[in-house]
Structure 1
Amino acid sequence: MKKKKLNLRDLNTKEHFGEHNHDDGHSHANPEELSNFKTYLPAIFSFAMLIIGIGLDYFDVSVFKDWIRIVWYSVAYIPVGFPVIKEGWNSIIKGEFFTEFLLMSIATIGAFAIGEYPEGVAVMLFYAVGELFQNAAVKKAKSNIKALLDVRPNEALVYRNNNYISVDPESVAIGEKVQVRVGEKIPLDGILLSEKGSFNTAALTGESKPNTLAKGEKVFAGSINLDGVIEIETTKEFKDSSIARILDMVQNATARKSKTELFIRKFARVYTPIVVFLAIALTILPYFFVENYEFEDWLYRALIFLVISCPCALVISIPLGYFGGLGAASKNGILFKGASFLDEMTKVNTVVMDKTGTVTKGVFKIREIKAIGREESEFMKYLMAMEEKSTHPIAKAIMEYKAEEQDFEATNVSEIAGKGLKGTVNAKSVLVGNKALLTSNKIDVPSDTDKIVESIVMVSIDGKFSGYVVIADELKEDAHEAIKQIRKSGISKIIMLSGDKDSITQQVAKELGIDSAKGGLLPEDKLKEVENLKKQIGRKVAFIGDGINDAPVLAVSDVGIAMGGLGSDVAIETADVIIQTDQPSKIARAIQIGRSTRKIVWQNIALAFGVKIIVLILGAGGLATMWEAVFADVGVAFLAILNAIRLQKMKWD
C-alpha cells in the first residue's frame, strides 16, 4: 500500500525514519522541491522565533508577558507542529489511534499547557530538523525512470499500402514488415529479412559485444541497429516483445520487493499507547489512594511525564545516526537510497554479481597475438588493413594496436555475415574472422584454438592459417581485492550470473575465486536464479549489476547494488545502493559502513531508553522537575547527536 508522503511543509515523519517505499518506484520527496529554499523556511522561522523568545525570557523583558508570550511561542510552534498534528488527526480518522504523531502532539501541547512553551517548540523543531537531515542525505540518490522510457521504442516504420509509415509499435500486427534505420531501436521481435545486420543488444543482455545476424535469424525489440537500413518481419506483438517483458519484470519485481520498517516505527505502536495510558492513570488513579488529592497537581505531574516520555532523543538521534552512515557512505563513493538499506546490508550473507561492467570494464582489449610464419608487426599490418574497413567494436580494439607506420592497404573487402571479412592486401588473399569463415574456405585451423574461450579473430593469408588475435574484456583493477574484501566481511557465498558466454563467465569466476557461475543467461533467467536463492531459509541476497537487463534482479533482491558511474540509468533507479565510482571493492565497505551505523543507532536507543526510564520514574513520583524533563529530552538528544557524528570521522579499510 502506497504510504502518504510529507515534506517539511507536510513533515514526512515516515521517511524521516528512513522508511523506503518500493511501491511507488523508490519514491522520496522531489529533489527539486528539497533544493528550494522555501522548504527550509518553516524550520528557520521556528528556530529564529524560539531563540528570540528564549532570549526575551532570559532577560525578563517586561513586555514579553502573559498573552504576548503565549502568542509568540504559538506562532513559532505552528510551522513545524501543525503538519504533525494534522497527520496525527488523519491517522485517528483511519483508525490508527496510537502513533508517534499523537504522542508528539500530546507531549508538545502538554508542554504548552504547563507553561513550558519553549520546550514544546523545541521538540517539534528537532523533529523538523531531523527530517531535513534525512532528506538532504538521500535526495541526490534519486533520479527519474526516464532511461527506461528511452529504451521503449517510440515508433515503427511499417510497410502498408506500398509505403512505409510511422505508427505506434503497439499497433503493429504479427507478420507485418518493418524497416529500421541505422541507430534506431528494433520496435518488435521478428525475423531478419535483410541479408545481414549488426545489433547492439546491451539493453537485453547487458553485454557490450554487438551481435551480427544473417537473414532468417531472430532479432529482438530493444536492440539497436548498427549497420545499414534493414527490414524485419514481426513475430510477436509489442506487449509480448523482449523489451516489454523486461519493463514488466521491473514493475513486478519492484512490487514484490519486501519492505523494511525501522525499529522506531514498530516500537511507537507499543510505546505510544503505554505512555498515553500511564499519563492518564497518573492523573486519575491517585484520587483513590492519595489523601488531599489535587487534580491540578497530578495533571502537572502527568504532563511532565509526557514531556519526559516524548521520544525526541529517538526521533532526532536515530535519523541522524542513519544520516551519519549515509554521509560516510557518500564520502566513500557509495549512495544508499534510504536509511533502511544500511540495515539490510548488515544482513546480507550471499552476493550475486553480473560480470560485464561489474567486475570487468566492458571494454575489449587485445589479450594475445599469435603470428605464424611472420613477424608480429607484419602479421598485424595485414590484420589492421582489413579491420580498418570495419566499424565492429572488435575491429576498433585491434586498431588500437601500436604498430609501425601502416603501409598496407586492403582492397575488395566484403563482409561475410556472421563470419568475418574477405579481401586482398598486397595482392594476397586475406580472410579475417571466426573459425567458421576459415573452415568454409578450406583453411586448416589448429585444434588448440578450440581451448580459447575469449573472442578470437583468426587470420588466413594466401590460403594458409597465419595466426590469431585474442580479444577479451579486462578485469577492473580492484576486482581481485573486491572478492577478497567481500569474503573478509563475512559473506558466505559469492555467485556470478552473466549474459556472456558460459565459457568466458566460468573463466572469469575461476580467476577471481568466485564460488559458482552461470553464463548465457537472459534477464528472466537471472531473475529465477535470485528468486530461488531467496527461497532458501536464512538467505539474504545482494545483487550487483549495471545494465538495463539487471534491473529486474536488482529490484527483487534483498539489496540491489548498481555500478553508478558507467551503469544503466534504469539499473541505478531500480537499485537500493549505488557504487558511484564503479569499484566493486566498495561493496565490502558498504557492508562495513552499514554495520557501524547500526551499532551507533542501537547505542543511541539504549542511551535514550536508559535515561528516560530513570527520569520517567522520578517524574511519576514527583521528584523530577521540568529541568530533568528537558535533560531527558533535549540533553539525551544532544548526546545521541554527538555519538552519531562519530560516523563522519570513522575510517574503513
Structure 2
Amino acid sequence: MKKYLLISFLLLLAGIGMDTFREPLWFRGGIRLCWYILAYLPVGLPVLWKGIKLLVKGNVFTEFFLMSLATLGAFYIGKYPEGVAVMLFYTVGELFQEGAVGRAKRSIRALLDIRPERAAVFRDGRFVETDPAAVRPGEQIQVKAGERVPLDGMLLDDEGVFNAAALTGESRPAVVRKEGAVLAGMINAGNVVRLKVTRVFDDSALARILALVQEATARKAKTEQFIRKFSRIYTPVVVVLALLIVLVPFLIHVFTPGTAGAFDFNNWLYRALIFLVISCPCALVVSIPLGYFGGIGAASRNGILFKGSNFLDIITRVNTVVMDKTGTLTQGVFAVQQVQAEGVEETELIRMLASLEQSSTHPAAKAIVAYAKQRGIVPEQPQEVREISGRGIGGMVGNKKVLAGNIQLMREAGVSGIPDDMELTETVICCSIGRRWAGYLTVADRIKPDAAAAVAALQKKGIAVVMLSGDRQAVVDKVARELGISEAYGGLLPEDKVRQLEIIRQRQGKAVAFVGDGINDAPVLAMSEVGIAMGGLGSDVAIETADVIIQTDHPSRIPLAMAIGRATRRIVWQNITLAFAVKLAVLALGAGGLATMWEAVFADVGVALLAILNAIRIQHMKE
C-alpha cells in the first residue's frame, strides 16, 4: 500500500509541476487526463471498491461514498489535481489511523502474548510438556528460570522470585514464600521452582484478565455511542445540503428570469464537492474510539482493568470514594497477637478455633490456622460448619458446639460469661464452646504502605474518602486516624454497608465509587456507580461484580485510575471541539465559494491526523 501511495504522490507532484511551471505542449487534453487518472487509481480504487461493497449492502452514506463522490465530481469539472489530492491525503490519513489503532491494540494484545503455550507437568515419575489446558488442579508443574508460569498454583519450594509486570504493571520482582500464591503469566526470575496447580487454565487469573480486557473493548462510552449515532445522521444531512448548494441556485436562476448572470453549474458543483469532502466524519469516528481504547490500554499497563470505556467516563464524575478496610487499605495479612483463654486451656482454645476457622477463607481465620500450626497444635475436621454473614462461623468440633466470631455473634447466640468491657484496638476473634465463653484471640493487620498516600492524593483532588468495615469501631477509628480519614464506620454487616452507601450517595448527590475485595463487598460493589475491586487478594465474586479491577492491590492505583479517566475524557472532548470548529468554519467558507478543495483536504484529513495524534498521547500515560 505504501508503495502505491508513493507512486500516486510522485505522479501528482509531477503533474502539478507541469501544470504550473513547464506547461509542455504534450501535457494537454486526453494525455493530461490519463496522467491524473494513473495518479488517482492506486489510492482511489481501494476506496471506490469499499464504497461499492457497502453500497450493495445498503450502507450508502459512508466516508468511502463521500470521498468517491467528491473526487469523481472533481474529475468531472476538470479539477484533476484536487481530485487526486483529496484521495491521496485521505489514504494517508487512513494509514495513520490504522497505525494508531494498531498501536493501541498492540498495547492490549501484549497481554494475549503472555499466555504460555506449554506446561511441564509431573507424570509417571518425570516432567512432561503438555497443553496448560490439559493440566488439572492438584498436579505438580515445574517452571524454569525465565519461563512464564502457565497456571495458577501454590509454591512448593521454600522461596521463588517472580516478575508480575505483564499482569500488574509492577516492575519490581516479587518474592513468594513456600505455599504462597503464584499466578499464571508471571515470569520466574529466580531458580527452577515447583508449583501445585490450584486452578484450571480457564479459571486462572491470567485467563480472567484476558477475558476482561477483551470484553472492555466492546462496552462503549456514551460519548462514543453518541458520535457513532450522530455520524449516521450527520453524513446524509450534509449530502442533502451539498445537493441543495447546486439545486437552490439553479432553481433561483430558472424561476427568477431577471437574475443577473448565467448559472455556472460547474462553479456550484465545485462548492458542493468541497462541502462533501469537509463533511467526512473521519476525525470523530476514528479518534474518539481510539482515545477510549488508548485509555483502557494505558490503564492495563499500570495494573488497572476497566471493564469498558463507559467506566472511563463514569469515574471522572466520582466525588466520593468509599473504601472497605481489610484487604483494601490494610494488607489483609493477619498475625495472632494475644491469646486469652477462660475456663479452658490455651492450647484447647487455639485447637477449637483453628479446627473451625480452617473452613473459612477470611484472612483472620488463616492467621489462626497458621498460628496453631506454628504452635504444633493439630486441628480436627469440623462438622456442620456454617458461615454467619458479617459475624463469624459456627460448627461442631468433636461433640462440642463451637462459635467463632465477633462479640455481637456471642451475644445473639446467648453465650454466657461474656466480659462486660473488651475495648481493644485490634481485631478480636471471640470463641464459645457449648454456649459458654471460652476466651478470645486478637489479630492485627498492617496498613498497606501506599494507603496513606492514596487517601492524601484523593483528598487533594477534592474527593471525599469514607471507610466502611465489619470490624469493631475502635479498630476502624485507629486505622482511620493513621490514614487521615475523618469519616469511618465500623461494625457493619453487608446489608449495613449497603444502607450506609445509600446514605452517602444521597448526601453527596454525585457518583460514588466503592472499593472492596471480599465476598461480603459484592452487594455494595454492584450498587455503587463505580465498583472497584482489589484483584490480587480479592474474591472471584467481588472481581466479577466490580467495574474496575486493581490488579496490584495497591490503593495508590485508584487516583491513577481516575487520572487516566479524566485524561481520556479531556482528550476526547478536545478532538470533538477541534473537529467541529474547523469543519464548520471551512463548510461555511466552502458554501460561500471562499474555500478551495485544498482547504477541504486540510479540514478533513489534517484535522483527523491532529485528532489521532492527540488521542495516542493517552497511551503514554504512566504512574
In the alignment, which residue of structure 1 is the partner of 2:428? 455
Pairing 1:295–2:255 present:
no
Would the alpha carbon gap of residues 136 and 64 (structure 1) be closer, same or farther in structure 2, given more than 3 Å must change? Answer: farther
In the alignment, which residue of structure 2 is the partner of 1:335? 305
Query: Percent identity at matched positions?
Result: 46
CA offset at residue 258 of structure 1? 12
CA contact (8 A) 1:138 1:337 kept: no
In the alignment, which residue of structure 2 is the partner of 1:612? 583
How far apart, in 1, do the equivalents of 2:512 and 2:273 lie?
47
Pairing 1:629–2:589 present:
no
CA offset at residue 121 of structure 1? 4.3
- Report which stretch shifted further, 554-563 or 49-58: 49-58
Residue among 554, 566, 587 paired with 2:558: 587
How far apart, in 2, do the equivalents of 1:264 and 1:413 lie?
61
CA contact (8 A) 1:544 1:563 kept: yes
Residue among 460, 464, 469 paired with 2:441: 469
Equivalent runs, 1:440-589 vs 2, <5 Å: 447-449=420-422, 451=424, 454-456=427-429, 469-492=441-464, 494-498=465-469, 508=479, 512=483, 513=485, 515-517=487-489, 519-522=491-494, 530=501, 538-547=509-518, 550-551=521-522, 553-589=524-560
CA contact (8 A) 2:228 2:285 kept: no
CA contact (8 A) 1:559 1:577 kept: yes
Residue among 222, 225, 228 paired with 1:260: 222
CA offset at residue 403 of structure 1? 11
In the alignment, which residue of structure 1 is the partner of 2:238? 275
How far apart, in 2, do the equivalents of 1:500 and 1:468 lie?
15
How far apart, in 1, do the equivalents of 2:380 and 2:236 lie?
86
How far apart, in 2, do the equivalents of 1:297 and 1:412 lie?
94
How far apart, in 2, do the equivalents of 1:479 and 1:453 lie?
18
CA offset at residue 307 of structure 1? 0.8
Give, as a single letter, the amino acid of the residue that structure 1 aligns with 2:609. Answer: F
Would the alpha carbon gap of residues 521 and 276 (structure 1) be closer, same or farther in structure 2, given more than 3 Å must change? Answer: farther
In the alignment, which residue of structure 2 is the partner of 1:105? 65
Residue among 325, 328, 333 paired with 1:363: 333
SS at match of 2:316: helix
Give, as a single letter, the amino acid of the residue that structure 1 aligns with 2:448. Answer: K
Give, as a single letter, the amino acid of the residue that structure 1 aligns with 2:608. Answer: A
In the alignment, which residue of structure 2 is the partner of 1:285? 248
CA contact (8 A) 2:525 2:542 kept: yes
Aligned residues: 461
Would the alpha carbon gap of residues 499 and 104 (structure 1) be closer, same or farther in structure 2, given more than 3 Å must change? Answer: farther
Deviations 1:298-320 (A, max 9, x none): 21221122212323233333334
SS at match of 1:603: helix
Give, as a single letter, the amino acid of the residue that structure 1 aligns with 2:549. Answer: I
Give, as a single letter, the amino acid of the residue that structure 2 aligns with 1:299. Answer: L
CA offset at residue 131 of structure 1? 5.8
Would the alpha carbon gap of residues 581 and 64 (structure 1) be closer, same or farther in structure 2, given more than 3 Å must change? Answer: farther
CA offset at residue 283 of structure 1? 1.8
Give, as a single letter, the amino acid of the residue that structure 2 aligns with 1:352. Answer: V
CA offset at residue 504 of structure 1? 5.8
Would the alpha carbon gap of residues 47 and 413 (structure 1) be closer, same or farther in structure 2, given more than 3 Å must change? Answer: closer
Would the alpha carbon gap of residues 468 and 64 (structure 1) be closer, same or farther in structure 2, given more than 3 Å must change? Answer: farther
CA contact (8 A) 1:73 1:121 kept: yes
How far apart, in 2, do the equivalents of 1:592 and 1:132 lie?
24
CA contact (8 A) 2:350 2:372 kept: no
CA offset at residue 48 of structure 1? 6.5
Deviations 1:547-604 (A, max 9, x none): 4554554444332322223334454444332222121221112222222333333333
CA offset at residue 628 of structure 1? 2.2
In the alignment, which residue of structure 2 is the partner of 1:313? 283
Residue among 306, 314, 320 paired with 1:344: 314
CA contact (8 A) 1:282 1:301 kept: yes
CA contact (8 A) 2:306 2:312 kept: yes
How far apart, in 2, do the equivalents of 1:575 and 1:80 lie?
41
SS at match of 2:332: strand
SS at match of 1:330: helix
CA contact (8 A) 1:258 1:558 kept: no
CA contact (8 A) 1:365 1:471 kept: yes
CA offset at residue 413 of structure 1? 11
Residue among 310, 313, 322 paired with 2:292: 322
CA contact (8 A) 1:489 1:591 kept: no
CA offset at residue 400 of structure 1? 4.7
TM-score where L is the length of structure 1? 0.56
Deviations 1:592-621 (A, max 9, x none): 222233333333333333433443343334
CA contact (8 A) 2:305 2:548 kept: yes
Would the alpha carbon gap of residues 131 and 113 (structure 1) be closer, same or farther in structure 2, given more than 3 Å must change? Answer: farther
TM-score where L is the length of structure 2? 0.58
CA offset at residue 506 of structure 1? 6.4
Would the alpha carbon gap of residues 325 and 453 (structure 1) be closer, same or farther in structure 2, given more than 3 Å must change? Answer: same
SS at match of 1:285: helix
Structure 2: stretches of 5+ with no match in the other structure = 16-26, 75-82, 113-218, 253-258, 386-392
CA contact (8 A) 2:518 2:542 kept: yes
SS at match of 1:361: coil
- Report which stretch shifted further, 102-111 or 496-505: 496-505
SS at match of 2:331: strand
CA contact (8 A) 1:76 1:121 kept: no
CA offset at residue 470 of structure 1? 0.6
Would the alpha carbon gap of residues 349 and 82 (structure 1) be closer, same or farther in structure 2, given more than 3 Å must change? Answer: farther
How far apart, in 2, do the equivalents of 1:296 and 1:486 lie?
61
